[in-house]
Amino acid sequence: MAETIANILSIAGSDPSGGAGIQADLKTFAARATYGMAVLTALTAQNTQGVSGVHLVPPAFVAAQIADVFSDIRVDAVKIGMIASAEIAEAVAGALSRHRGPPIVLDPVMVAKGGASLLAAEAVEALTRRLLPLAAVLTPNLPEAAALLGEAEAADRAAMEGQAKRLLALGPRAVLLKGGHLPGGESPDVLATPDGLRWYEGVRVLTRNTHGTGCSLSSAIAAELGKGRPLPDAVAAAKSFIAGAVRSSDALAVGSGHGPLHHFHALWA
């Protein structure tokens, strides 16, 4: 009997340029040999140079999308990306609370690569209070972690470890704090769980094509969890996938700003 293909749901915003958001999530799910589904929370007007507009989906309709997916389809894992407003955070939390089986990967998208805010200030409290306790793993970068904690951005590994532990105390079952904003030639991430800390090393790739890195990493983790991998192994596989997608990104010619990753680098070789 053939192995069942995992079904992975993304709840996030749309990026019409294809590099981040729902579009990056679906590409990642496909590249990781899973079936992708998408619930839209927001439409954005953006390209590789930045975001020029955001149009939110009504919270009740976000909840309706989630309900319809779960009423008909087996969901093996969920990735949450752009939430945008407190009302949407409440709607997503309410809808997912009825389905506590699949692991949830929460990527607290706050600021776009070009600097545009993607999460209203009042939504941070709702995200922290309602969504963090549902998460199997929270995947913030350093600025996002600082915003969630109300602290200065971590500038070294010791500060990263402290912030990862404090984020863990807010309710998620694990925290993957991403160190891509650290100075220097390395890009290390630290995974905090109740069992302790684990570091994942990485070498910084010198390229402008990093649009959608966070979206894609969290989606790759969700895909691997949906396939049944333990979290430490899922993170390792996802980080390896992203490293390859960044290294191969110069093969693409998309836009004049921060270009996308090459999600299908292993398939198009």
Query: Are 18 and 48 within 8 A, CB to CB?
Result: no
> If you count DSSP H runs as helices and E runs as strands, how many of each does the chain have, helices first?
8, 9
At 60, list the tokens: 């009740």
Identify the active-site residue in 128, 215, 239, 259: 215
215 catalytically annotated: yes
Identify the active-site residue in 213, 226, 239, 259: 213
Identify the active-site residue in 210, 239, 244, 259: 210
213 catalytically annotated: yes
Query: Are 53 and 35 within 8 A, CB to CB?
Result: no
214 catalytically annotated: yes
Helices (H), 107-212: 121-126, 142-149, 157-168
Identify the active-site residue in 79, 178, 227, 239: 178
48 catalytically annotated: no
Q: Shortest CA distance to 254 belongs to which of 265, 245, 266, 262? A: 262
Q: What is the DSSP string of 31-60?
A: HTT-EEEEEEEEEEEEETTEEEEEEEPPHH
Identify the active-site residue in 214, 226, 244, 259: 214
Identify the active-site residue in 212, 226, 244, 259: 212
**In the chain, where do the E strands start and end?**
7-14, 35-47, 50-56, 77-80, 104-106, 137-138, 175-178, 189-193, 196-200
Any idea which residues carry the catalytic annotation?
178, 210, 212-215
